Amino acid sequence: MHAGEPPLSAIDRVHHRDRLGPAAGECPDRLADPTLDSVESIFAEFRRRLRYTLPSKARFAAELLLREALTNAVIHGSGANPAMSVHCAIRMRDRKLIIAVADGGPGFDWHSQSGQTADSASCSGRGLEIFRKFATRVRFSARGNLVTLVKDFKEGLTP
Amino acid sequence: MTEQLKNSVVTWNDRNAIVRPAGDVVAAQVPELRSTLRDALARGVQEMTIDFSEVEMVDSTGLGLLISAHNSISKAGGRLAVIHASQEILELFRSMRIHQHFPVSQRGGTASGVEQ
* Reported pTM: 0.81
pLDDT tens, B25-76? 999 899 999 999 999 999 999 999 999 999 999 999 999 999 999 999 999 9
Select from A37, A21, A25 the least CA-distant residue to A83.
A21
- The interface predicted TM-score of the complex, written ipTM, equals 0.89
pLDDT recorded at residue A116? 63
**What Å distances lie between residue B28 and A7, B6, B58, CA to CA?**
30, 13, 11
Contact A27 B65 (CB under 8 A): yes
Any CB–CB contact under 8 A between A22 and chain B? no
> How would you class B2 by CB atoms within 10 Å of its CB: exposed for 0-12, middle for 13-18, buried for 19 or more?
exposed
Q: Is B76 on the interface with A (CB under 8 A)?
A: no
Query: pLDDT tens, A124-136?
Result: 779 999 999 999 9
Over residues B4-21, mean pLDDT: 87
Q: How far is Cα of residue B77 from the mean position of the Cα atoms in its chain?
A: 16
Q: Closest Cα to residue A30, out of B94, B79, B31?
A: B31
Give me the pLDDT at residue A48, please: 86
Put simply, the answer to whether A37 touches B68 (Cβ < 8 Å) is: no
Mean pLDDT of B64-91: 96
Q: Residue A130 and residue B65: Cβ atoms within 8 Å?
A: no
Residue of A nearest to B89 (CA): A60
Q: Is B104 on the interface with A (CB under 8 A)?
A: no
The pLDDT value given to residue A47: 87
Task: Tell whether A126 is within 8 A of chain B (Cβ).
Answer: yes
CB B56 within 8 A of CB B24: yes
Report pLDDT digits (tens) over A40-91.
778 888 888 888 888 889 999 999 999 999 988 888 777 656 667 888 888 8
Q: For residue B59, which phi and psi values (nearest 5 degrees)?
A: -110, -175
